[in-house]
Structure formats: C-alpha cells, structure tokens
Amino acid sequence: MGYRTSERLPLINAAPDNRGLYLDLYSEAAKRIGCELKVSRLPKKRILQGIQTGQIDFYPGFTYSPSRAKYVAFFENGLETRISFISSSKLANVTDLHEMSGKQLIVANGGATFGAEKLGVHITFIENLDLNRAINIIREGRADFYLYHRDTLLYYLKMNPSVGMRLHSCCGTSRPMHLGFSKVSKHFQAKHNPDYDPGQPISSQNDDVLPATDSVVARFVESIQQLKKEGTLLGFLHIIMNKQ
C-alpha cells in the first residue's frame, strides 16, 4: 500500500506513523488471504509513479478519473465518504451552497468544488493544503470555508473541541470510497471483462479488464468486503473514533 506523507485522520497518521483505519483494515484483509501488508509513504507524485510501474500495488483512497483508469483498476475499499465544509464557529450553519455566495472557499489543489464557483463562491486552490493549515488560514481571516472529507473533519473536532470551528450540514451524500490497484502489479492477473461496453467510456463500472478470480487482488477485495459484512470494519472504526 502506498500513501502520501501527510495525515488523513482517522484513516492514517502523518509519516512515518502508519497507524489508523487503513492499516487496521488492510492488514487484516491481507492476513486473511495469507499475505502481509507493507506500507510505503512518499510524496503523492512518487506514489503514483510507483503504481504506474507496479512497484506499489495500491492506493487506498483513490478518486476515479479516465486518465487514472489507464493504469489502475478501481474497487470499493470498504469505506464511505462525504464532503463537508468547516468555518469559524461564528458563521451560521450552511445547508446549501447558495448560502456561501460571496464567501471565500479554500480547496486543496486539484480538489473538487461541486460547482460552487458558479454560485458566486470565491475559490482559492492551495498546494499541499492540509487541515491544520486550512484552520490557520480561516483563523487569520483569509478564508471563510474549507472543503474536506467529513469523517476527517468530525474526528478532528472530536479531538479538538475548543478549536472554534463549525462543521456545516452542507453538502452532498455519503458514497463508497475506492482503492486504486495497479494493473501492472504482480498481484493483478487480468482477464477480459465480458460486460465491458466499448461504446461507453471506461469507468469504475465499465473497465475492459477484471482481475482473475484466483488472483491476489480479487481475493484481497473479497476479504475487505467480508470484513465489512461481518462488522469487523465497524469495530475498528469504533475503537479509533473513541480514542482520546
């Protein structure tokens, strides 16, 4: 497993500390199929290069794009995500993007905006933007809102109740997260997807190849889903979310 050096709690700590839900979940899933999980922490560009060459097998939270689908197969990673916003606690709760018109939103470079710019929201993209830096920017009055994953925002506010930030109700719904597995990994033995429709663009539901049923990646993905079905995943999450 490869992941960038920065943290995304409660999923993973900042390097070199790999503890978090990703490690718990994927170590157990790997153990159940007779494998051992190893973790590489590098800048994200180097992780992606490693995936493209097969030196790194997978990235645990990977957003689909047509360019990535050329070298990565996408599978549900057992988790769900929802995007939310935080601001100073002085601002009223936002339930709709229209309420943010005229406000300043900061987003990590390359991040989604959900069309907020079309509604009069002023957006600034910032390279290597993490949660702590975003909160400092808001505190300094240089931005009103920060967009990020709701699970991480909830965890941060639970661990830092006096930080003076508000988590807003807006926007979106929970959706499955995906991991991206290298198509040139030694653990990815491909077979033709009989349901592939060449008349439609390649997507996470319409890829021209699938992993062979007895391949490591197929058994690994099935192991992840089994952990989810039996409740082990929720157990891991409960332990992490209730740590003080």
What is the token pair recorded at 31? 């153990």
Q: Does 165 have pLDDT greater than 60?
A: yes
pLDDT in the model for residue 156 = 92
Query: Whole domain around residue 111: which residue ranges?
Result: 83-167
Same domain, 163 and 184: no
DSSP state of 35: -
Same domain, 94 and 45: no
- Name the pLDDT band for 103 (thresholds 50, 70, 90): very high
For the stretch 106-143, pLDDT in tens is 998 877 788 899 999 999 999 878 899 999 999 999 99
For the stretch 201-241, pLDDT in tens is 887 788 989 999 999 999 999 999 999 999 888 787 767 77
The secondary structure of 5-34 as a DSSP string is SS-BTTTBPSTT---SHHHHHHHHHHHHTT
Q: Does 81 have pLDDT greater than 90?
A: no
pLDDT in the model for residue 88 = 97
Q: Does 65 have pLDDT greater than 60?
A: yes
Same domain, 9 and 27: yes
Which of 167, 191, 226 lies at the terminal end of a domain, its last residue?
Answer: 167
Residue 64 to residue 85: CA distance in whole angstroms: 22
Which of 135, 167, 199 lies at the terminal end of a domain, its last residue?
Answer: 167
| Interacting residues of 111 by C-beta distance below 8 A, sequence separation 6+ | 125, 147
Q: CATH number, domain at 138?
A: 3.40.190.10
pLDDT in the model for residue 134 = 95
Same domain, 127 and 156: yes
Same domain, 190 and 157: no
Same domain, 93 and 61: no
Same domain, 156 and 183: no
Q: How far from each other are the two terminal CA atoms of the chain, in whole angstroms?
A: 27
pLDDT in the model for residue 243 = 65
Which of 122, 140, 167 lies at the terminal end of a domain, its last residue?
Answer: 167
Residue 55 to residue 38: CA distance in whole angstroms: 12
Same domain, 112 and 229: no
pLDDT in the model for residue 71 = 94
Q: In terms of C-beta density within 10 A (0-12 exposed, 13-18 middle, 19 or more buried), how is residue 221 classed?
A: buried
Same domain, 15 and 68: yes
3-state DSSP call for residue 172? coil
Same domain, 76 and 181: yes
Counting the structural domains of the chain, the total is 2
Same domain, 97 and 74: no
Whether the Cβ atoms of residue 144 and residue 127 lie closer than 8 Å to each other: no
Q: Does 244 have pLDDT greater than 70?
A: no
**In one letter, which amino acid is 23?**
L
Same domain, 156 and 205: no
